[in-house]
Structure 1
Amino acid sequence: MFEIGDYVLNATNGICKISEIVELDMSGDKQLKSYFLLRPVEEENDRVYIPVDNADKRIRKVITQDEALAVLDRVPEIEALAVNNEKERETRYKEAVRSCEPDSVISLLKCLHIRNEQRAQAGKKSTAVDERYGKMAEHNLNAELAFVLEKDKQEIKDIIHDML
């Protein structure tokens, strides 16, 4: 599914390039296991190790240019993430960010946009949870779209913000 040289998205590290497959004993039980060695595009000196046997749960290939343009076309139609219970808010945010799926991330950003407007009208600031997940979601979405479309992240951010 993944090969050396592929660009992938990881919720924690953003866009990474698979640089090699290495055999490591990470558990200390002297059993070697295969890992993808990822190099984050924005932090080339960093190293991220993802087990090969469950990589599809932790990374996905970066979308194509056509897919990126289709995502931007869909922004107006994507529904805001519905959170019915304050206790589940952070869990729902975390699920959306970890999914690394553009539509889920946009749904989260729409939810946060609406929520921040409502809180501002009520004279309240945004919450720390809203800020944290909003930054993560925005960073990964903007980074991927900018990378694929060969644009500046700020330009992508402005385009999406205008659509929200």
Structure 2
Amino acid sequence: MYQPGEFIMYGSSGVCRVVKVGVLEGRTADPQRQYYTLQPIFESDVIYTPVDSGVFMRPVMTKEQAEKLIREIPSIGETMCTERNPVNLRVHYEASLQSHQCRELVSLIKGIRHKCRETEKKGRKMGQVDQRYRKKAEGLLHGELAVALGIPLEQVEDYIRERVEAVAG
């Protein structure tokens, strides 16, 4: 069970701080059930969810894990999807997001960026589905890295770029 003050990854909401654990008072919730009160870090919402909910939850990675992931980015392969049907493309991208694995998010982001560069070379614009899922993947990954590294969200992309360039030498 997570404790108040801990940071967790919660489903597709990204990084949340556990505010409270206990029975929800004055609500229509089950009085016999324990709930987390979660505050998404980069949004103004509040989430109430049962402790035993089926929604994916895990602790935010440590600073050491974040640094290791960033060092490994150059060696992580791209998830390429040449699917043109928007429904099938969504299914493919959603499966990557639902893995809740940072390496998979890196792979997805790299693949979509590659696809975007190739599309632009042909004089076309990036598709809306590609844009939407790249932003979702970047939001989840960058949010977790920001919290793990203790830096502002806006600095994450530059931080990654600097570290990757330093490793590449």
TM-score by length of 2: 0.80
Distance 1:63 1:153, change over 3 A: same
Aligned residue type for 2:62: T
Aligned to 2:79: 81
CA distance in 1, matches of 2:32, 2:127: 44
Deviation at 1:121, TM superposition (A): 0.7
State the identity %.
26
Establish whether residue 7 from structure 1 lines up as the match of residue 4 from structure 2.
Answer: no
Aligned to 2:120: 120
Show CA shifts across 1:100-157 (max 9, x none).
Answer: 3210110110111110001101111111111111111111211211221122323321
Which of 32, 46, 64 is residue 66 of structure 1 equivalent to? 64
CA distance in 2, matches of 1:2, 1:94: 26
Q: Could you list the runs of 5+ residues in structure 1 that have no partner in the other structure? A: none
Deviation at 1:11, TM superposition (A): 4.2
Number of residue pairs matched by the alignment: 160
CA distance in 2, matches of 1:112, 1:160: 17
Q: Is the 8 A contact 2:80 2:112 kept in 1?
A: no
CA distance in 1, matches of 2:91, 2:32: 34
Counterparts of 1:5-154 in structure 2, within 5 Å, are 5-23=5-23, 32-43=32-43, 45-54=44-53, 57-83=55-81, 85-87=83-85, 88-154=88-154
Q: Find the residue that maps to 1:9 and give its secondary structure.
A: strand
**Deviating 4+ runs (over 4 angstroms):** 28-32, 161-164
TM-score by length of 1: 0.82
CA distance in 1, matches of 2:59, 2:30: 31
Q: Is the 8 A contact 1:105 1:141 kept in 2?
A: yes
Q: Is the 8 A contact 1:50 1:58 kept in 2?
A: no
Q: CA RMSD in A?
A: 2.6
Range with bigger deviation, 57-66 or 147-156: 147-156
Deviation at 1:47, TM superposition (A): 0.9
